[in-house]
Chains A and B, each alone.
Chain A
């Protein structure tokens, strides 16, 4: 039996070492490069996050200031958070908050321009594909401030008992056209705060912000934690003047990553969160399956084909990449085989076919790698194509792709990539570096190949991400997943097709239900060809009003499904219209819809219904009610546990002396000294 974990660990390590690199662009106010337009200021930036019941609600409130003598337009851009549904955008007009409405993208843009030309207050939030959310606010009056807020929700995944939340700020700098056109102002001048409230009945033993050790982490009660960071300019006494020009209190150039670790040994579980206003109405649910740790370790050897991006955007990461490769290959067993493919404009292999990992071959590969320099574009298709065609059909193989960019040369359409991967039975494991990589493409490829894509922020704990990836690659996976719910009518399940489930991953399913009562849940799948079944029973409630956000989360997941269908079948007006309809009905900003704010009376004059305002009010009330009602346990498989084993957790551990030991060490020292003195 040949354990492969150390090998995989070493090899994956090399990719994560690439993350210590020169920082990319940041979130911030944009001004056209070289223009005469004066710069606005970000006076305040406040982030409030609430994580409970399986999802996170992030509210970002900002104040933009115009110290100049003319009215200006503010354009603020920030990276798209992972699986984030933007459903609330508020602009304070005449001191009162006005909530936005979602319209078809072109219509929203036209209204924004029309209002702007008329000199009326207006604001617009658009999504620029997978890259950024862009907020435009007009006008920021001369010498005045404007206040806006944006709220988005996203499911929160626990992976191998570790939860992770990312507030993305760092822009990867892969969109060269945009970078050359805009300059960014990412300094917050007066006040910055980040506040995260966490509530869960699953016990947590640690919170951690690897890149923000100054954060204050407090456990408020059992199951309730708070993480906060504040930086403000010191207040001046009346009559005094600042000695120097104000400096930034914070720069929006680094992601904030928050981890929390569940206590080891918690059971595998099924959790249900629902929303249903009336017994006769359709309800919406979010079902979260946290499997037990019953997937066996893989013991057979494998071939590894590494496809590494060395395009221009990898500049600054390349020396670290070489060091990582060196360390990784040095730890391979001589029986294991590897080959390395690099790609920028064109792909090329730097190894000579599969090579056994003996010292001489490793040294040659490193020398070959060192002779390269990152530059040019990203011909991802050609790199992958060469990787796939280099596989040996007789051996168990895996393709590991590391990229931080977007495909901009050769074949660039998603459909081409999916066709390529469907030709071969190979698992693709993608490591998506930074916030600007084409995540939808990489995630779709992983889905088609039954692999996975891991998103890695520059602020991530590298050792932690390494453990996460290793844990998945070293264990069997559950394939061909089929989930059925009987006993209560359900429909509109999303995702429509399930990916393979790797060790430590959760399965989150959204859907609608009609009626109430006992339902049976059955999950079937295959592990190394063996059929596996898990089942349980639980209750769908007749009425549940605490979680209206579930409707938006369902809508967002549904839109992802529709988008996947578009990727397979190409342009389809019906599917595009379906996406627009779902987004407008549920008030979501997408590639096809935008959110606009106008003066309250203008909504009426333009005949725009205030659907989203009603939804936002309902959600805000529910949030207040949740605080009053306290922490809830959403587990529903207590009576018939679905999993026999406890959930997976990282199998590492350590022990430390602590402050309690001083109670032992100090008296011991005193006794020792007294004895010594007596003896002397």
Chain B
């Protein structure tokens, strides 16, 4: 039986997102910018994911973080931190490559896709429910559609959508799943056991 716990990390992360949006007047100093990062402004690797273009952008991502963060934190705080960090790293790595020609990027949704995939996998390990397969396929299909069309399906934020960040986030999720699976096989220490 899993111990009941207050998702303090999730609450802290959501509070940080909202606080940054409200407090920071000049957001251009914190957006992800590959050029500025190469110039030494390395904080943008992290801060860019915590900044949002407008209120709608912020609220949807806060909702996603609250749900997925709580689910993962219920299992393991380590797992939540590892998934968040991996998501941010994978998305940042994509944005630093010449493939991404963005001047600026902001938003946590790339990393949230990592959390989503890990949360689905965690649930699959516990339930083996066919619904998990359906949800995973639906999530991947949505991202592929957005990438192929260059649009976001419903949400209209004030910045152009960049669906490739979601792909990078899903890859981050696969990476975590792979590490966890190896842990099971090797009977080594893993972030969480189900």
Q: Which of A's residues lie within 8 Å of B, judged by CB?
A: 3, 5-6, 9-10, 13, 205-206, 208, 261, 263-265, 327, 331, 333, 461, 463, 466-467, 649-661, 663-665, 667-669, 671-672, 675-676, 679-680
Contacts and interface: CB of A to CB of B under 8 A. Distances in A.
A328 to B, nearest CB: 10
Nearest to A297: B35
A263 B160 CA distance: 8
A649 B131 CA distance: 40
B191 interface: no
24 contacts: A3-B35, A3-B38, A13-B26, A205-B160, A205-B161, A206-B156, A206-B158, A264-B160, A649-B160, A652-B105, A653-B162, A654-B53, A654-B161, A654-B162, A655-B152, A656-B157, A658-B60, A658-B152, A660-B154, A664-B116, A665-B64, A665-B67, A676-B2, A679-B1
Contact of B157 (A263, A651, A654, A667): A654
Contacts of B77: none
A659 B154 contact: yes
Nearest to A671: B123
A655 B165 contact: yes
A669 B102 contact: no
Contacts of B159: 652-654
Interface residues of B, number: 64
A6 B64 CA distance: 31
Interface string B57-74: 100110110011001001
What 10 A-B pairs have minimum CB-CB distances, sorted nearest first? Answer: A653-B162, A658-B155, A652-B104, A651-B103, A657-B64, A654-B107, A655-B109, A658-B154, A654-B159, A657-B60
A655 B161 contact: yes
B163 interface: yes
Interface stretch (B6-14, B135-143, B172-180): B135-143
A653 B36 contact: no
B155 to A, nearest CB: 4
B82 to A, nearest CB: 19
A13 B28 contact: yes
Contacts of B38: 3
B33 A653 contact: no
Contacts of A665: 63-64, 67-68
Contact of B150 (A265, A654, A671): A265
A658 B57 CA distance: 9
Contact of A650 (B103, B112, B129): B103
B81 interface: no
B101 interface: yes
A205 B156 contact: yes
A81 to B, nearest CB: 25
A679 B2 contact: yes
A6 B103 CA distance: 10
B192 to A, nearest CB: 14
B167 to A, nearest CB: 10
A669 B64 contact: no
B39 A3 contact: yes
B132 A659 contact: no
Contacts of B185: none
Most chain A CB inside 10 Å of its own CB: which residue of B33, B52, B106, B160: B160
Contacts of A663: 138
A655 B53 CA distance: 10
B171 interface: no
A656 B160 contact: no
A609 to B, nearest CB: 51
Contact of B155 (A263, A659, A667): A659
Contacts of B103: 5, 467, 650-652
Contacts of A676: 2, 74
A671 B131 contact: yes
A664 B152 CA distance: 16
Contacts of B181: none
Nearest to A213: B55
A671 B132 contact: yes
A331 B28 CA distance: 11
A655 B138 contact: no
Contacts of B63: 657, 665
Contact of B112 (A333, A657, A669): A657
Given A327-B26, A664-B138, A671-B123, A657 B35 contact: no
B160 A6 contact: no
Nearest to A2: B39
